[in-house]
A and B are shown apart, each in its own frame.
Chain A
């Protein structure tokens, strides 16, 4: 038992790694995952809309893009983009692997998110688009105001699940070699674990991941529940209720 505690919960190491995790690691993990969540969501929506197009020269590139980035192991994509593009993009991003890590994570996320959005948008009844068109809206306006908002709402739980995956995948960026100040949670835990030969710093890093991901999973459940039960709307007090009832009863014609 003492061995177990010493291996996983050595307070000395945890205490030692804690400030770095809090000040550097948490911040970097949040930056990496939220930046790629935002970019991935935007790209994902573009991929979804292209994938739903009736025109093959929109649909096919979206299809191929999705197949590639969903089909490759995340670590492979991160290495290929992080190392490969560092040569090409050096004039723009310098030797900093951080932006390329975000780019790689975004591309992976966008492939998954694109599929999530596509399934959501496709699940909206055809009548919604028809009604919007029949009211004189253009196709793009009808999609933007009527179809896409409803489609996105339905897949919000799946979207948040994808964000959770992104938080965890952000640890893979450490393969690109980060500066001390750029280290995210996993790398900080791993560094001290390697130096000390004790796993407690990684346990501490895991604790920080849970601080981010557990609230997100509960957010998923909350959204899911609210989508199924619907938000309660209280009717406005209206003095015309009685008259309306009369009209509704067919006594008064418009």
Chain B
């Protein structure tokens, strides 16, 4: 059942990213480098700019200034739709298309964005659904599924597009506790397959166990980065120390 499809992944680099909403500076010069095939977890208190930073990677949020590099090439002013075909995203609230079946949720972007024929799209969709263990849910509407199942479909939908990077925006925050593990396992599996992942999360266990790197954000800046061991066992900055003492 293990998927052997070769993974084509890319590195991601953010350089001096600034974002303001009106007078509120949400990101104040963020640098972040994620190597190809590695997993970076972004942690930090709410309001620190984690989600905004993540949304800059596929330019759902256009930065006011700064540069974004995918596989070493700047994509900050290229066609955003092209960029988004290479960067998949999974949201906190799943955002499955409510008027379509689970299968159609996956075939719709395959067909309309990638121009893949119907039969091939269905084949891909069924394969990705099998990957997340939900083959039998193909004909259902998303509303008939549990939150955990919906999130797994959302992951399958993003994976079907064959992305080089996957972004997870608090993908388990809206889930009931007993459903969190299935989704986290799936994400860990993707990390193991060598897909580049950037994960905004409150799951410190996941960050410690799966991430290659952890970035701690506070007040619109990356305050500290390092291996999970360095971040969790030997935090340097007082702000990270205080954050960890509150969440652990």
B113 touches A137 (CB 8 A): yes
Give the complex CA separation of A172 and B60 in angstroms: 50
Cβ 8 A contact of A137, one of B81, B141, B149: B81
B145-188 vs A, CB cutoff 8 Å, 1 = contact: the mask equals 00001001010011001000000000000000000011001101
B33 within 8 A of A: no
Cβ 8 A contact of B132, one of A128, A235, A247: A247
A133 within 8 A of B: yes
B139 touches A145 (CB 8 A): no
A236 touches B132 (CB 8 A): no
With A135-B113, A235-B139 as known contacts, state yes or no: A240 contacts B130, CB within 8 Å: yes
A130 touches B60 (CB 8 A): yes
With A240-B130, A240-B135 as known contacts, state yes or no: A250 contacts B181, CB within 8 Å: yes
B133 touches A247 (CB 8 A): yes
Question: Which residues of chain B are within 8 angstroms of A240 by Cβ–Cβ distance?
Answer: 130, 135-136
Question: Which residues of chain A are within 8 angstroms of B82 by Cβ–Cβ distance?
Answer: 136
Q: Give the interface size bracket for A toward B.
A: 35 or more
A253 within 8 A of B: yes
Q: Give the interface size bracket for B toward A.
A: 35 or more
Chain B, Cβ-Cβ closest to A149: B99
B186 touches A136 (CB 8 A): no
Chain B, Cβ-Cβ closest to A137: B113
B140 touches A233 (CB 8 A): yes
A252 touches B91 (CB 8 A): no
A55 within 8 A of B: no
B95 touches A128 (CB 8 A): yes
Chain A, Cβ-Cβ closest to B114: A136
With A150-B99, A250-B185 as known contacts, state yes or no: A235 contacts B137, CB within 8 Å: yes
Question: Which residues of chain A are within 8 angstroms of B138 by Cβ–Cβ distance?
Answer: 236
A254 touches B3 (CB 8 A): yes
Chain A, Cβ-Cβ closest to B156: A254
Interface window among B21-29, B68-76, B189-197, B199-207: B189-197
